[in-house]
Amino acid sequence: MSLFSGLFAPAISTAQNSPKEYGPHWDGFGERYGMRLTGVATSNTMEAGLGAIWGEDPRYVRSDDGTFKHRVRHVFLLTFAARNREGELRPAYARYIAIPGSNFLSNTWRADSVSHSSDAWKRSGYGVLGKLAGNAWSEFWPDVKHKVFKK
């Protein structure tokens, strides 16, 4: 899912030719897609590694409560929390480190025009929003799919 959904941001950036160093062509799209892929892979590796050391489970588990309000709250909660080895919700410290950490680290291999601290913070914000969107997708898509396709 991440590989497919990751097509959109590089496509938009290619259409806008941002950053200009990559160019508005297929090669530029490939560089932008690869840049996104390396950032996501670095973030996920950092989160999984630190989470394993600290006993955090970064996986999203759907809510067992059927009310829409509770499920939306659950999506937000698990964006910022993770279960520990005992199954209790705790702050997702590994995620708090991995998202900005991977974005600042990726400044070392990004184009000069997008490798500043402000760019890393902006990408970190998008990373949190991406996690939130992924959680919402995991929570609600099975129900939508069931109602739309009625299998």
The per-residue pLDDT for 150 is 79
- Report whether pLDDT(82) > 80: yes
Domain-by-domain residue ranges, the chain?
A: 37-149
Query: pLDDT for 98-127, tens place per residue?
Result: 999 999 999 999 999 999 999 999 999 999
Mean pLDDT (the chain) is 92
The per-residue pLDDT for 7 is 86
- Tokens 């520990």: give the residue: 84
Question: What is the spatial distance between Cα 41 and Cα 112, in angstroms, rounded to a whole number?
Answer: 21
The per-residue pLDDT for 3 is 67
Query: pLDDT for 37-69, tens place per residue?
Result: 999 999 999 999 999 999 999 999 999 888 999
Cis peptide before 91 (omega within 30 of 0): no
